[in-house]
Amino acid sequence: MRELIDCLKKGVVTIDFTKIDTGERRVMPCTLNNSNITIRNIASDSDSIVVWAMDKEDFRDVIVSTINEWYIGYPKA
């Protein structure tokens, strides 16, 4: 989790996760490196992480246990 948070602070990361309410798979490019963001400290043992969703241009909360995978950069075509 610490590595994911560090990468989000540096730039864009794509997080692939399962939405709790629908069970739908979501692939979301997101970051913590944006002028709109004021989040500074995120505990690596937190159950969820608040990120800036690049495609929605808004904050989104991702529950850590629903993350299938993540990688640096935008979604793979």
Q: Going from the N-terminus, what domains does the chain have, and what CATH number goes with each?
A: 2-72 (2.30.30)
Res. 21 pLDDT band, cuts 50 70 90: very high
Q: How many helices (H) and strands (E) does the chain have?
A: 1, 5
Q: pLDDT tens digits for 23-75?
A: 999 999 999 987 666 666 777 788 999 999 999 999 999 999 999 999 999 99
Q: Identify the pLDDT of residue 64.
A: 95
Res. 3 pLDDT band, cuts 50 70 90: very high
| Pairwise CA distance, residues 22 & 36, whole Å | 28
Q: Identify the pLDDT of residue 45.
A: 85
Q: Using alpha carbons only, what angle is made at residue 2 by residues 52 and 22, rounded to the nearest 5 degrees?
A: 50
| 18 or 46, greater pLDDT | 18
